[in-house]
Amino acid sequence: MLTVNKILLPVDFHENSLAAGRQATALARHFHSELILLHVHALLNYRLASLEGGYVLSAQEMFIDTTGKERAMLDTFLDSELEGLTVRRELLEGDPAQGIVQFAHTEKVDLIVMPTHGYGPFRRFILGSVTAKVLHDVECPVWTGAHLKEAPVEELFPLHNILCALDLSSHSHRTLDWAAQAAAEFNARLTLAHASAPLELTARAGSYFAPEWRGVLVSQAKEEITKLQHSVGTQAEVIIESGEAPKVVRQAAEQIHADLLVIGRSPTTGITGRLRTNAYAIIRESPCPVVSV
């Protein structure tokens, strides 16, 4: 059973935060979770100039003025949409990414919801630095996606199709287990995807791999996934394609009309352990929200 008692929503008041907030609200209603809205005020080093006959605010005065406005914005953020939920609003000072990670650890948060902050036609090539740092350092699952701004909240639930991308690292058991619990929670169809490393990327310079080796790699991946499913207790359909992980995963998500993609974030090794390296690209290119476990 998937338990989500605390959901953390980092807020920077950009329109992407509003979209992520609405999705976090929908998740909090479904799981009856406490929703924590967190804004971390970034401390800046102010360089003050002396103006003859003028008045320059001191660094302390500017800080108080800014944080006062941010507190007021935080207190009213999504106010009308949070009725009936258990909500807490926290304002901290410091580095935003570090503040989010530390708060999530201290509060034992079950899920963080945040956008990637990709903008315009190039959004698929951008991952906000704060989001990237949180994904790298935090221990709990993170729900995100480059398209959150465009996703209608009413289409978030129910989840009909969940895709779980596996790199077959030691972390894959945890990734699949979370995806299986989510599929059971929402009565959704679970599909697994694995990107088999292209031979041209695994061969050393000047080496030659016979074409039949591609089939060997696929067979090995199938065996590992079968064992993994047995250990978790799933019998999901499996999609295995040779190619770059972001492309393979995106195509699989589009093929099954995935409503949610689940990936792992642990360090990986070996020729099949490439999801960690491609995790950010997978998030950027995914046509649906992504939960990084």
For the segment 42-51, the average pLDDT, to the nearest whole number, is 53
Which pLDDT value is given to residue 140?
A: 95
Q: Distance between CA 45 and CA 36 in Å, rounded?
A: 28
Residue where the block lists tokens 């926290």: 90
| pTM for the predicted model, two decimal places | 0.83
Contact 127, 268 (CB under 8 A): no
CATH 3.40.50.620 domain range(s) in the chain: 1-149, 158-293
Residue 17 has pLDDT above 50, yes or no: yes
From the list 154, 185, 6, 158, the residue with the least C-alpha distance to 81 is 154
Which pLDDT value is given to residue 235?
A: 96
Q: Highest mean pLDDT range out of 79-93, 110-124, 126-140?
A: 79-93
Which pLDDT value is given to residue 150?
A: 52
Largest CA distance in the chain: 82
For the segment 40-51, the average pLDDT, to the nearest whole number, is 59
For the segment 117-129, the average pLDDT, to the nearest whole number, is 48
| Geometric angle at alpha carbon 271, from 268 and 273, rounded to 5° | 25
Residue 269 has pLDDT above 80, yes or no: no
From the list 206, 204, 208, 179, the residue with the least C-alpha distance to 191 is 179
- Looking at the domain 1-149, which fold is it? Rossmann fold (3.40.50)
- The DSSP result for 117-166, as a single string, is ---GGGGGG---HHHHHHHHH--S-EEE-TTGGGS-GGGTSS--EEEEE-
Which pLDDT value is given to residue 249?
A: 96
For the segment 72-94, the average pLDDT, to the nearest whole number, is 92
Q: Distance between CA 148 and CA 154 in Å, rounded?
A: 12
Which pLDDT value is given to residue 271?
A: 38
Residue where the block lists tokens 């409503």: 259
Q: Highest mean pLDDT range out of 8-17, 20-29, 139-148?
A: 20-29
Q: Copy the structure tokens of residue 238.
A: 């499996």
Which pLDDT value is given to residue 50?
A: 46
Q: Which residue has the higher pLDDT, 81 or 207?
A: 81
Contact 136, 100 (CB under 8 A): no
Q: Determine the distance from the C-alpha atom of residue 60 to the mean position of all C-alpha atoms in its chain, rounded to a whole number.
A: 36
Fill in the amino acid letter for 288.
C
Q: Highest mean pLDDT range out of 45-49, 74-78, 164-168, 264-268?
A: 164-168
Give the pLDDT band (50/70/90) at residue 41.
confident
Which pLDDT value is given to residue 163?
A: 98
Which pLDDT value is given to residue 12?
A: 86
Residue 99 has pLDDT above 70, yes or no: yes
Contact 73, 44 (CB under 8 A): no
Give the pLDDT band (50/70/90) at residue 142.
very high
For the segment 111-115, the average pLDDT, to the nearest whole number, is 93
For the segment 6-35, the average pLDDT, to the nearest whole number, is 90
Q: Which class would CATH give 158-293?
A: alpha beta
Residue 193 has pLDDT above 60, yes or no: yes
